[in-house]
Amino acid sequence: MAEKVLMKGNEALAEAAICAGCHHFFGYPITPQTELAAYMAKKMPKIGGTYLQAESELASINMVLGAAAAGVRAMTSTSSPGLSLMTEGISYIAGCDLPALIVNVQRGGPGLGGIQPSQADYYQATKATGHGDFQLIVLAPSTVQEMVDMVFLAFELGEKYRMPAMLFSDGLLGQMMEPVVLPEPGQVKIADKPWAVTGHGGKRFHNIINSLYLEPDLLEKTVRERYERYAAVERDEQRCEEFMVDDADIVLVAYGASSRICRSAVVSARAEGIKVGLIRPITVWPFPNDAIKKAATHAKAFLSVEMSMGQMIDDIRLALNGSVPAYFYGRTGGMIPSPAEVLGEIKKIKEGM
Partner 1 sequence: MRTDLNLVLAGFGGQGLLFAGKVTAYAGLVEGREISWLPSYGPEMRGGTANCSVCVSDEPIGSPLVLTPNALIAMNLPSFDKFIDTVVPGGVALIDSTMVSAKTNRTDITAIYVPATKLADDNGLSGLANIILLGRLYKELGFCSEEALDKGLAKCVPASKAAMLDANRKALKLGMEQP
Question: Residue 8 Cβ, how far from partner 1 at the closest point, in Å?
Answer: 9
How many other C-beta atoms are found inside a 10 Å radius of the C-beta of residue 55?
8
- State how far the Cα of 137 lies from the Cα of 327, in Å rounded to an integer: 26
How many other C-beta atoms are found inside a 10 Å radius of the C-beta of residue 221?
12
- The reply to whether 32 sits near partner 1 by the rule CB under 8 A is yes
Nearest alpha-carbon partner for 86 in 116, 51, 117, 56: 56
Query: Of 110, 132, 179, 344, which lies in the binding site for partner 1, with binding defined by CB under 8 A?
Result: 179
Question: Which residue's CB is nearer to partner 1, number 225 or number 272?
Answer: 272
Q: What is the size of the binding site for partner 1 (CB under 8 A)?
A: 23
CA distances from 202 to 125, 148, 207 (A): 40, 40, 11
Query: Of 30, 209, 261, 282, which lies in the binding site for partner 1, with binding defined by CB under 8 A?
Result: 261
| CB of 59 closer than 8 Å to CB of 32 | no
Beta strands, E only, the chain: 4-8, 24-27, 50-53, 74-78, 101-106, 137-139, 165-170, 177-181, 240-243, 250-253, 276-281, 283-285, 301-306, 326-330
- The reply to whether 33 sits near partner 1 by the rule CB under 8 A is no
Question: Residue 304 Cβ, how far from partner 1 at the closest point, in Å?
Answer: 17
Query: Of 272, 338, 344, 352, which lies in the binding site for partner 1, with binding defined by CB under 8 A?
Result: 338
- The reply to whether 339 sits near partner 1 by the rule CB under 8 A is yes
Residues 90-119 that bind partner 1 (CB under 8 A): 115-116
What are the beta bridge partners of residue 6?
179
Query: Of 133, 149, 156, 178, which lies in the binding site for partner 1, with binding defined by CB under 8 A?
Result: 178
- The reply to whether 23 sits near partner 1 by the rule CB under 8 A is no
Q: Which stretch binds partner 1 (CB under 8 A): 189-197, 222-230, 262-270, 299-307?
A: 262-270
- State how far the Cα of 261 lies from the Cα of 244, in Å rounded to an integer: 15
Question: Which residue's CB is nearer to partner 1, number 81 or number 339?
Answer: 339
- The reply to whether 172 sits near partner 1 by the rule CB under 8 A is yes
Site residues, partner 1 (CB under 8 A): 4, 6, 31-32, 115-116, 171-172, 175-179, 260-265, 267, 336, 338-339
